[in-house]
Amino acid sequence: FQRTEAPRPPGGKDLHAYPWDKSSLKSMPVDLQQFEKLDAYALKVNVKNSVEELVKALLKQARTDLEKVRAIWIWICHHIEYDVVGYHNKSQLSSKPIDVLQTGKSICEGYAGLFEQMCSIAGVQCMKLFGYSKGYGYKMGQTFTGDSDHAWNAVYLDGRWHLLDSTWGSGAVDDAFTKFTFRYNEFYFLTHPALFINNHFPDNSNWQLLKPTLTLKEFENNMLHNSNFYILGLTAHPETTIIQTVNGKASVSVDCASATLFTFKLRGTDEHGFMTLKKHGMKLDVYPPKTGSHKLQIFAKPSKASDDVYKCVLEYIVECESVDKATRFPKDLHQPVGPSWFTERQGFLRPSHPEPIIHTNDGRCSLTFTLGKDISVLTSLHCDTSSLTEEMRRRHIMQIHRGNQIELKIHLPHAGDFVLKIYAKKKSDPGNYDYIFNYLITCLNTEVKWPAFPQSYSKWAEDYEILEPLSGLLPANRNVQFKLKMQGVAKVLVQAENTHPLTQRTGCWEGTCNTSGCREVFVMVHENANHSFYSHVLKYEVETQ
């Protein structure tokens, strides 16, 4: 083994531009697929007696300096665990490379020291660096004083210095700082210096490898982004850690390159905000329920991800001086609100209402979508101030199908804020309906009091349509005009106290029925002229005297 010559200090050709130009997450081109065999080999190496023997075993599969550094990195990240006990009791702790190797645990200084020694044996220049970090225990907006609190490495590859942090590459400790979990993080291998500076501030500013370098004050003030934020290719606005509310509201927007799903928590819940998904990101307004400082967390996951795990990508402090008491959202409102690229993917195309909030003055509104193939839709209406039964939640919405178009006619039972929930499933699937999205419908007009639509039965076909009467509550002792669009049936009857047949005119069945002497009115169809039985399709109630 060759021992390396003394490392040269960083100079002009090592520097990268700040702020990050979004070119790459790494400081040199790395093809991770080319490392697959080497990574698998390095993981399996099991040598604990000496650092030299370990390096010798790892280098069997490594030719270039980059491959040597990669093998050492992969081995350390998967075999050395963070010593949470030692961290709390440093007198018992040795950071000597051989001790770290034999105990299989250490704190950051031990990781960095072992990395440095292994590189040196392998003939690659490597430095152990010290500085401040925004790691465990960091509080947003805090200042840094006194001794450095973290250690990491720089390695010399292809004529330039590069940065890495094997402690953070190996996993994470829990909030209570009592348990370490191995969770490999590729982000901290040869991280682009303009991203590394986000949470690593070296004692010697030359090791930022940046042009221009940042001051400690800038480092303290800069928003902390974790690795998930960069891995997902996000940008956020505002770029300050602390947001002041304006009239009780604070707004955040996030942009992303590829389809990403988001959630958020303000004070640990998502009920004090309003989030919409955009083509390339999301927009969020939050309304803190109390004055003071509140933690706002934003989580994200790629839409293609197979697991349902959202990872925290952003944290803000929202400072609220006055509460907007007028803005409160129904408890049934689900985030995000309104249609989006995501609902399009679920088969709801060309929404008539692309915005998430629908305002109605007369308590009525109508939404249309073009539906993807083979989709069956279920809808319901929810409101905090009314105790609608399950059945009534559905009966204030009428579905009308025309070809691949669906219209949702909504008649609100009273003024207020309502949530329209939309569920769907494949018609060919026997299973349950899946929740897809929701709208917020608001009506301020206190005169509004629409009755429900008539109750429909299973024989009411999807392409049937009621033209009149739309109200499920008919006046007593009146002649009521019926007009129904129903294709492919032999006869239609309206049954009140007496039976009234409807006549067919230009695709509609029409006629009148008298409501005296009855509490209910049924519409029945004779589907086939050769059959003698009728099927009930609709039921109306009649007002009591």
339-386 tens-digit pLDDT: 999 999 999 999 999 999 999 999 999 999 999 999 999 999 999 988
CA dist list (Å): 478 to 27, 470, 510, 515: 82, 16, 16, 6
- In this structure, the number of other CB atoms found within 10 A of the CB of residue 187 comes to 21
Q: What is the rounded distance in angstroms from the CA atom of residue 207 to the CA atom of residue 199?
A: 14
Last residue of a domain, one of 453, 485, 514: 453
Residue 241 has φ and ψ, to the nearest 5°, of -65, -35
Residues 160-191 have pLDDT tens digits of: 999 999 999 999 998 888 999 999 999 999 99
pTM, 2 dp? 0.85
Q: Residues 67, 205: one domain?
A: yes
Q: Residues 290, 353: one domain?
A: no
Residues 246-259 have pLDDT tens digits of: 999 999 999 998 89
Q: Residues 308, 428: one domain?
A: no
Instruction: Indicate the number of domains in the chain.
Output: 4
Query: Residue 2: its pLDDT value, please?
Result: 54
Query: Residue 5: its pLDDT value, please?
Result: 66
Q: Residues 201, 260: one domain?
A: no
Last residue of a domain, one of 153, 186, 216: 216
Catalytic residue positions, numbered: 108, 150, 165
Residue 326 lies in a domain: no
Q: Residues 83, 194: one domain?
A: yes
Query: Residue 217: its pLDDT value, please?
Result: 95
| Position 301 confidence tier, pLDDT thresholds 50, 70, 90 | very high
Cα 421 to the center of its chain, rounded Å: 19
Instruction: Tell me the percentage of the chain whose pLDDT exceeds 70.
Output: 99
Q: Residues 56, 196: one domain?
A: yes
Q: Residues 80, 201: one domain?
A: yes
Residues 381-426 have pLDDT tens digits of: 999 988 888 889 999 999 999 999 999 999 999 999 999 999 999 9
Q: What domain range is 245 assigned to? A: 231-320
CA dist list (Å): 117 to 52, 121, 123, 125, 163: 9, 6, 10, 10, 16
Q: Residues 278, 391: one domain?
A: no
Strand intervals (E) in 189-259: 189-191, 200-202, 210-211, 234-237, 242-244, 250-256
Q: Which two tokens stand for residue 391?
A: 């059945």
Q: What is the rounded distance in angstroms from the CA atom of residue 32 to the CA atom of residue 492?
A: 69
Residue 22 lies in a domain: no
Last residue of a domain, one of 408, 429, 453: 453
Which residue bears the tokens 């009592």?
A: 178
- pLDDT of residue 201 exceeding 70, the answer is yes
DSSP state of 246: B
| Position 532 confidence tier, pLDDT thresholds 50, 70, 90 | confident
Residues 280-300 have pLDDT tens digits of: 999 999 999 999 999 999 999
- pLDDT of residue 3 exceeding 60, the answer is no
Task: Tell me which long-range contacts 86-95 makes (C-beta under 8 A, separation of at least 24).
Answer: 87/177, 88/177
CA dist list (Å): 60 to 41, 63, 126, 133, 357: 10, 8, 20, 35, 63
Residues 42-83 have pLDDT tens digits of: 999 999 999 999 999 999 999 999 999 999 999 999 999 999
Residues 216-244 have pLDDT tens digits of: 999 998 988 889 999 999 999 998 889 99
